[in-house]
């Protein structure tokens, strides 16, 4: 059997799901784009998408819900200057495609007679970061139910204080096809799975929660017995630790952030401020500061959509551009922003492969993929031992960020009080308050244990949600405000 080159294989799969069943081919796409180009526009594209998703959830020892859905459609976009016209339909047909094209071209009232020449076809270059398997089909329904039941049994066997176990299993098979007015065709086949575990422990009338989980762009075989056991251990341990937690102290203090998921603070407080749209409009705390020092020496921050199998990775973005490994801050100096096509054009730079959208019913925006800080030369033990009095936060829950000022509020879901370099006891109710740009300058020690999160992140922006990754090494931050309960 002769296999096709991966880029061509993905294109063939996309055509077989999104064009052929509806009597469409590339000539119909060219005609629709030609209709848009009959008016003066800077950019135009068609975004076809087929998504099949499945979810299972267990609670009180029973798999209570199972869901399955299929969604498909096409989004049609025209861009003129800063203005965007957009239409979408869940009816994939020549008629709906042409109707949408004529609608969006009205963004420009200037007709361009003679500009209907069809652009030369070119297939966009792309990466091969994950397999094109259908994760839903990688495990049968009976095995999925047994997997969740195993989570329940393992968690309850860990400790008699475990009062309740909730577990969820989700999978998605996403196929996209992008046709641009410049003749570019791009496609991607994106698997995505996730397993989540939540445990509630009870002791003397007090109830506390612990959670864990992970996933990425692969099949369910990733969740072997060892990994399931690890997730259960983490969730149960977190819940039991929180049962012993004391009220968190408040005030300005040294704070050490653990490696991995605590990078969510970096994502929210700094990453969003480095997105191209906010900087083009001058509304970010980082606007106009390229080439300037914005962080302490040693701080290097990347947004990298090229890591194999990661939740935030993409072979191509949702505008057909190849994903990239983009250095945003290098040794404390601001080097660049995250860009989609429109904001890159308006800022006079190249797209960075970060044009992302939730679905065919949404316009692309500059969005993060996997955002993380590189490691340093200190051991995590050395960093914790350096704390005279302060907080060691190893896990985070929710938070809020103001992009314009960079100010944030984050709640730590797992944290410890440290004195004279010794971890004394867990604390509850610690809230970190500060400014992203200010926090970057207060980093005084960087660990050698850089770690990415386990594959659970979802980022929201302007009502759209996309899967992302975060990561960082252990960090010491001097003089951060902690709102506590003590």
- pLDDT over 50 at 304, yes or no: yes
CA distance 88 to 111: 23
Within 8 A by CB and 6+ apart from 39, the residues are 78, 105, 106, 107, 108, 109, 110, 111, 112
Alpha carbon distance 378, 473 (integer Å): 10
Instruction: Quote the mean pLDDT of the chain.
Output: 94
Answer yes or no: are the C-beta atoms of 15 and 92 closer than 8 Å: no
Asked if 316 contacts 186 with a C-beta cutoff of 8 angstroms, the reply is: yes
Q: Closest Cα partner for 271 from 338, 352, 363, 335? A: 338
pLDDT in tens, 351-373: 999 999 999 999 999 999 999 99
Q: What is the pLDDT of residues 309-327, one digit of tens each?
A: 999 999 999 999 999 999 9
Q: Could you give the angle at which helices 26-37 and 94-104 cross, rounded to 10 degrees?
A: 20
What pLDDT was estimated at residue 116?
Answer: 46
Question: How far apart, in Å, are the Cα atoms of 280 and each of 77, 151, 275, 302, 341?
Answer: 21, 47, 9, 20, 13
pLDDT above 90 covers what percent of the chain? 89
Distances (CA, A) of 435 to 140, 168, 432, 481: 47, 35, 10, 10
pLDDT tens, 16-55? Answer: 999 999 999 999 999 999 999 999 999 999 999 999 999 9
Q: Each residue of 162-177: pLDDT tens digit?
A: 999 999 999 999 999 9
The angle formed by the CA atoms of residues 68, 74 and 78, to the nearest 5 degrees, is 145
Specify the pLDDT at position 402. 86
Q: Quick: pLDDT tens for 72-124.
A: 999 999 999 999 999 999 999 999 999 999 999 988 767 665 444 556 778 98
pLDDT at 119: 67
Side-chain half-sphere CA neighbours of 443 within 13 A: 29
Which of the residue ranges 3-7, 149-153, 269-273, 448-452 would you say has the lowest mean pLDDT? Answer: 3-7
Mean pLDDT of 324-335: 98
pLDDT for res 1: 43
pLDDT digits (tens, 9 = 90+) for 409-461: 999 999 999 999 999 999 999 999 999 999 999 999 999 999 999 999 999 99
CA distance 149 to 143: 10
The reported pLDDT for the residue numbered 4 is 75
Distance CA 333, CA 329 (A): 5
């Amino acid at each position: 059997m002769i296999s096709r080159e991966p880029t061509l294989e993905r294109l063939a799969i996309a055509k077989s799901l999104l064009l052929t069943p509806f009597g469409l081919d590339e000539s119909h796409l060219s005609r629709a784009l030609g209709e848009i180009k009959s008016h003066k526009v800077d950019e135009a594209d068609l975004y076809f998408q087929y998504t099949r998703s499945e979810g299972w959830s267990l609670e009180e020892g029973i798999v209570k819900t199972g869901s399955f859905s299929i969604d498909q459609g096409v989004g049609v976009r025209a861009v003129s200057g800063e203005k965007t016209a957009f239409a979408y339909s869940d009816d994939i047909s020549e008629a709906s495609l042409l109707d949408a094209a004529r609608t969006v071209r009205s963004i420009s009232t200037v007709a361009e007679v003679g500009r209907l020449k069809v652009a030369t076809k070119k297939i966009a270059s792309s990466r091969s970061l994950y397999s094109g398997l259908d994760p839903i089909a990688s495990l049968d329904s009976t095995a999925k139910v047994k997997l969740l039941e195993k989570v329940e049994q393992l968690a309850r066997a860990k400790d008699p204080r475990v009062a309740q176990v909730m577990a969820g299993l989700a999978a998605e098979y996403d196929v996209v096809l992008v046709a641009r007015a410049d003749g570019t065709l791009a496609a991607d086949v994106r698997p995505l799975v996730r397993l989540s575990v939540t445990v509630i422990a009870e002791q003397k009338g007090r109830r506390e929660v612990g959670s864990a989980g992970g996933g990425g762009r692969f099949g369910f075989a990733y969740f072997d017995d060892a990994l399931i056991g690890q997730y259960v251990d983490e969730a149960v341990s977190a819940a039991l630790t929180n049962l012993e937690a004391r009220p968190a102290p408040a005030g300005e203090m040294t704070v050490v952030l653990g490696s991995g998921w605590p990078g969510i603070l970096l994502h929210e407080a700094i990453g969003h401020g480095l997105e191209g749209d906010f900087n083009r409009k001058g509304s970010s705390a980082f606007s106009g500061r390229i080439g300037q020092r914005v962080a302490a020496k040693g701080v290097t921050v990347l947004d990298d959509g090229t890591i194999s199998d990661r939740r935030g990775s993409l072979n191509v973005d949702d505008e057909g551009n190849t994903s990239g490994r983009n250095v945003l801050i290098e040794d404390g100096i601001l080097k660049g922003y995250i860009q989609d096509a429109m904001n890159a054009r308006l800022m006079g730079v190249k797209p960075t492969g970060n044009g992302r959208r939730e679905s065919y019913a949404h316009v692309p925006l500059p969005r993060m993929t996997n955002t993380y800080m590189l490691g340093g030369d200190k051991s995590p033990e050395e960093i914790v031992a350096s704390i005279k009095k302060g907080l060691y936060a190893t896990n985070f829950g929710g938070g809020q960020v103001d992009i314009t000022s960079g100010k944030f509020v984050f709640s730590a879901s797992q944290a410890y009080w440290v004195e004279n370099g010794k971890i004394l006891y867990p604390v509850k109710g610690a809230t970190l308050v500060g400014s992203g740009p200010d926090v970057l300058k207060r980093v005084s020690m960087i660990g050698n244990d850089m770690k990415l999160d386990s594959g659970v992140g979802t980022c929201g922006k302007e009502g759209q949600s996309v899967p992302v990754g975060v990561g960082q090494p252990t960090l010491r931050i001097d003089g951060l405000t902690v709102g506590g309960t003590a």
